[in-house]
Amino acid sequence: MSTRDDHPGADGQSAPPTLGLGTWQHDDHERCVESVRTALEVGYRHVDTAQAYGNEAAVGEGIAAADVGREDVFLATKVWIDRLSPEEVRDSTAASLDRLGVDSVECLYVHWPAGDYDPEATLSAFAALREQGRIEHIGVSNFTPDLLEAARAAIDAPIAVNQVEMHPLLQQADLREYCEDAGIDLVAYSPLARGKIFEVDVLTDIADAHDASAAQVSLAWLRAKGVAAIPKATGRDHIADNRASLDLALTDDEVEHVDAIDRTERLVHPDFAPDAW
């Protein structure tokens, strides 16, 4: 996988930095501004939002307030399911950029393959935005391998990123294999399983052995799998704790112990999720 911490790469193309700040359900404007600013100032370079989160303006203010250049930030947002017709993609993206206070974003995602989503029509509109320099990468979210196949066949431009729920309790092995073969970066949302990882003995035992947190172990495991992660965090302590996961290197045996967790717990499952999800 091409996921990396430096941004941009030597080839001038950016991949999602390994660790980012997720902002789902971060709907207190001032706290969101402060969390984004804090995350950037402690070293994050990847910030994720979405039209549906209602916080793009706060995310933009947080980026502007941080002592970090805009060119150093991998910024991503997502188009909601009722705005996926070509005209709505164009207009809603323009509104997103306005709320964010930027001329372009590094990644624009199809939030879910639902609602007005049509592979050729929707993704052709994304490709047009890419040609116009409004977005750098075309991303999709919550796509299965079959949906990725259809998306890749629909347009000539590359599908660069797929963002999905992923954590030690939902390891997505088949999807990881598909994306690695296809050269698609993976970004994990809810990478701490919405707190459930703190109840898993394998993770807490590894954490104790490293004088680390179970959150750091989960994030380090994802990194070992070549997957970027965007945990939500609001306070400085949690933001810094997640950032410290970049200093944690799991042994091969520890990665295998996490791999062996025999649980499949999907925590985000709206009624419009794709079939065979």
Cα(45)–Cα(138) distance, integer angstroms:
19
Residues 6+ apart with CB under 8 A from 87: none
The single residue of 53, 109, 117, 189 carrying the catalytic annotation is 53
What's the Cα-to-Cα distance from 36 to each of 64, 100, 117, 232, 251, rounded to whole Å? 10, 12, 30, 10, 32
| 193-199 contacts at long range (C-beta below 8 A, 24 or more positions apart) | 193/167, 193/168, 193/169, 193/218, 193/265, 193/267, 194/267, 196/169, 196/265, 196/267, 197/167, 197/168, 197/169
Cα(83)–Cα(60) distance, integer angstroms:
21
CB 109 within 8 A of CB 161: yes
Structural tokens at position 92: 């809603």
Quote the DSSP letter at residue 167: B
First to last CA, the chain: 23
Place of tokens 């705005």: 83
Cα(173)–Cα(59) distance, integer angstroms:
32
Structural tokens at position 115: 């609602």
In the annotation, is 109 catalytic?
no
Structural tokens at position 70: 């805009």
DSSP helix/strand/coil, 223: helix
CB neighbours (10 Å) of residue 195?
11
- Residues involved in catalysis: 53
